Amino acid sequence: MDYFTILVSAFISTCCYFTAAHIIPGFRDMFLKANLGGIDLCKKDKRKVPESLGVIVGCVFLVGMFFFIGCFYYLQQEKGFSNSDFVEFLTALLSICCMILLGFADDVLDLRWRHKLLLPTIASLPLLMVYYVNFNSTVIIMPKLVRPWIGMSLNIGFLYYIYMGALAVFCTNAINILAGINGLEVGQSIVISSSILMFNFIELTRNSEATQHAFSIYFIMPFLAASLALWKFNKYPSRVFVGDTFCYFAGMTFAVVGIIGHFSKTLLLFFIPQIFNFLYSVPQLFRFVPCPRHRLPKYDPETDLLNISTTEFNKKDLGLLGTIFVQIFKTFRLISWSEKPDGTVTTNNFTLINLVLVLRGPTHERTTTQILLGVQLCCTVVAFMIRYPLASFFYDA
Amino acid sequence: MDYFTILVSAFISTCCYFTAAHIIPGFRDMFLKANLGGIDLCKKDKRKVPESLGVIVGCVFLVGMFFFIGCFYYLQQEKGFSNSDFVEFLTALLSICCMILLGFADDVLDLRWRHKLLLPTIASLPLLMVYYVNFNSTVIIMPKLVRPWIGMSLNIGFLYYIYMGALAVFCTNAINILAGINGLEVGQSIVISSSILMFNFIELTRNSEATQHAFSIYFIMPFLAASLALWKFNKYPSRVFVGDTFCYFAGMTFAVVGIIGHFSKTLLLFFIPQIFNFLYSVPQLFRFVPCPRHRLPKYDPETDLLNISTTEFNKKDLGLLGTIFVQIFKTFRLISWSEKPDGTVTTNNFTLINLVLVLRGPTHERTTTQILLGVQLCCTVVAFMIRYPLASFFYDA
């Protein structure tokens, strides 16, 4: 393991933290003046909060990485280091930089829904291109159970690139749709990145030659540092909002380390709440069940608590798929349900945030975020349990 | 010379042109809605024109380059190509990508003057970092005249990095301050990039192994294509404005090809009008002579012509340096001058655009742009004359 380079990265990350924490307040007025701001709907005083501050921490992260690549390249060359790893490193950074640019453009221009799928695909292009030329290893190892039929491994060819592109699209949007209350976007990113970091260190201790995990650390440490600085201002009560920029930036960082670190399956284990939230949202996202423009919880200024937000429809208007989904959710008690004699149904919007409120009743915003981050943390524990003890059932150690 | 790769680049550039030309109109309303727009002051109808469309062509350029790096890397690896060139290539792209991001942030947030110097420095970091490790060749070849005293070459060490950083700052800002009338920013970038392209082809014909010139072509061709698409909408009467984003993007592209192509001195020869404009502006930029907030020419709606814009001050208030500058300009008849008995002076603002109007009298906006682009073109001819026949006096062939 290359302790010295990791120390350099830790030092640069510390600088990123202090720089970001120092400059964010100064940019608040500038963002408001540029009309980048939004009303915090879950507060009594409907004050305007600057939005898209993610671009600032994104830039701080980039500058930190620029200094790091200099040191890194210098240190590695002294050891007769192969340039092809460095090429991968640079393309990963290029993907992240491009994603911050496109995310900020999305925040400013308020792009359409379909762009949300296109932008991460564009940004992941350089990485996929170089992966294609550098490795083009599209072989996946099969779990033990299916080996008698399929064999030890399977070359899925072009599908592998589709999978990697989809990973980028998923990671970016998964964070973007589990959002909307103070601190949630940054909080979950902090939990996920800490989990990845822990995983990388465990892997490095088991095999000190696993350079791909060191690579991942070089990206995740400054990311975590910049996010912690942002957390200071974004936690309840938010003094800044992070915007799509941050969600894209975070998601892309996770996707690239998953890809260049060759641990995309493990990465997805850290996204259990996001995956659940996505699956839970599917009926509304694909319009099997009516979906209002905003699915944020409803704020009650009297009690200062969040309540579920609801959608209303007539039972007869649901299609076949909608009925099936609703039936499943009802069976598992995942939704609220109130039905009038004429068939008009009121149910909560299908988001993880609303689900917490369905299960717990009206809850304070700060507590809601804490619960969700607690869930994320528990899922990380589950993820490590799946990854380590259970994985040996399916794969060789 | 690697014709096939150049052909691939030409094909991708063509795609960039058509894509940019196709999508720009669709973004016009989106930019206006996002409050990114400005009044065209030199028109009778004070209509609002969308601003910062440079970010769109910047993104098209990036996507084109992403596809190109895939092809390029593939083609080069087949030939047993060294990765260290590719590393340089990627860092150059990273610098440009970062510059577009920072430029767009500047447009949206309307950053302060001192940031204009900081942003290009940040964006050029990755390139300088990698240059440092990859080459660290800071030796400059001396002109024949001074060789008896200094020797054949001189290692200027750290100063060389200062020089490269300054080159990035200069190129980006030089285009940014020779701007303000329809089509000028894009027009000059088209002339400069065509000049660079011609120079690269000449060098490649003289020495087909000069890969650094091929590298430059791979960047400049798609840049030229994207700029030509933007020109369609930015030429008189402008339907879109390009914003600081484009000026930064263009300047950075020129700077990186100058650096990785090792022809920064020749590059500066293509910037003669910009250098003149900068030197001419110095007294106002550094406040030796009073400088109004805007130095754009004044539009006369009666005649539809542009007139010089002026600054007023009392002769006695000029400091020593101000007096010297003004005296020099007056001697060479580079400024208008009208003096009242009490010492109040009215003179034009010191920009190249105003100088054209001083020399020619009131002129139509379209003609003014044409004259300035004509001057740029003549300077290119001069640049080639200096570079080729005259350079042999100073350097060995």
Write out pLDDT tens, residues B162-177.
888 899 999 999 999 8
The span from the CA of A128 to the CA of A124, in Å, is 6
pLDDT at B94 > cutoff 60: yes
> Region B338-367: what's the mean pLDDT?
93
What Rg do the C-alpha atoms of chain A give, in angstroms? 22
Confidence bin at A142 (pLDDT 50/70/90): confident
How many other CB atoms sit within 10 Å of the CB of residue A118?
Answer: 13
Partner A contacted by B272 (CB < 8 A): no
Burial of B293 (0-12, 13-18, 19+ CB in 10 A): exposed
Q: What's the mean pLDDT when you consider all of chain B?
A: 90
Residue B217, helix vs strand vs coil: helix
Higher-pLDDT residue of A382, B79: A382
Residue B139 β-bridge partners: B155
What's the confidence (pLDDT) of residue B157? Answer: 75
Side chain identity at residue B154, one-letter code: L
Please list every residue in chain A whose beta carbon sits closer than 8 Å to the beta carbon of residue B130: 69-70, 73
> Region A297-303: what's the mean pLDDT?
92
Confidence bin at B76 (pLDDT 50/70/90): confident
Return all residues near A127 (Cβ < 8 A) that are at least 6 apart: A88, A91, A92, A94, A95, A164, A256, A259, A260
- Percentage of chain A beyond pLDDT 90 is 64
Q: Could you tell me the CA-to-CA distances from B138 to A68, B90, B120, B244 in Å, in that order? A: 22, 21, 21, 31
The span from the CA of A25 to the CA of A265, in Å, is 38
E strand residue ranges, chain A: 37-39, 48-50, 139-141, 153-155, 298-300, 305-307, 310-314, 338-339, 344-348
pLDDT at B325 > cutoff 60: yes
- Give the lowest-confidence range in A325-334, A375-384, B111-120, B148-157: B148-157
Q: Which helix (H) or strand (E) holds B141?
A: strand B139-141
The token pair at B57 is 């062509």
Identify which of A121-130, A361-370, B290-299 has the greatest average pLDDT. Answer: A361-370
> Region A376-387: what's the mean pLDDT?
93
DSSP-assigned letter for residue B142: P
pLDDT tens digits for A153-178? 777 777 888 888 899 999 999 999 89
Instruction: Write out A241-255 in H/E/C secondary structure.
Output: CCHHHHHHHHHHHHH
Partner A contacted by B81 (CB < 8 A): no
pLDDT at A136 > cutoff 80: no
E strand residue ranges, A26-77: 37-39, 48-50
Is B125:A66 a contact under the CB 8 Å cutoff? Answer: yes
Tell me whether residues B122 and A69 touch, CB distance under 8 A. no
E strand residue ranges, A203-259: none
Is B187:B231 a contact under the CB 8 Å cutoff? Answer: yes
What's the confidence (pLDDT) of residue A388? Answer: 85
pLDDT tens digits for B377-388? 999 999 999 888
Is B217:B197 a contact under the CB 8 Å cutoff? Answer: yes
Q: Could you tell me the CA-to-CA distances from A154 to A138, A143, A392, A397 in Å, in that order? A: 8, 11, 19, 19
Confidence bin at A88 (pLDDT 50/70/90): confident
Higher-pLDDT residue of B170, A147: B170
What's the confidence (pLDDT) of residue A396? Answer: 66
Task: Respond yes or no on whether ipTM tops 0.85.
Answer: yes
- A189 to chain B nearest CA, in Å? 22
- A294 to chain B nearest CA, in Å? 20
Please list every residue in chain B whose beta carbon sits closer than 8 Å to the beta carbon of residue A93: 94, 126
Residue A336, helix vs strand vs coil: coil
User: In chain A, positions 43-72, which contact chain B (CB-CB < 8 Å)?
Assistant: 55, 59, 62-63, 66-67, 69-70
pLDDT tens digits for B256-286? 999 888 898 899 999 999 999 999 999 998 8
Is B269:B387 a contact under the CB 8 Å cutoff? Answer: yes
pLDDT at B392 > cutoff 80: no
- A91 to chain B nearest CA, in Å? 7
Q: Could you tell me the CA-to-CA distances from A200 to A68, A211, A219, B225 in Å, in that order? A: 19, 10, 11, 44
Is B105:B111 a contact under the CB 8 Å cutoff? Answer: yes
> Region B209-219: what's the mean pLDDT?
89
The span from the CA of A211 to the CA of A216, in Å, is 9
Please list every residue in chain B whose beta carbon sits closer than 8 Å to the beta carbon of residue A91: 69, 90
N residues, chain B? 397
What's the confidence (pLDDT) of residue A80? Answer: 59
> Region A353-357: what's the mean pLDDT?
95
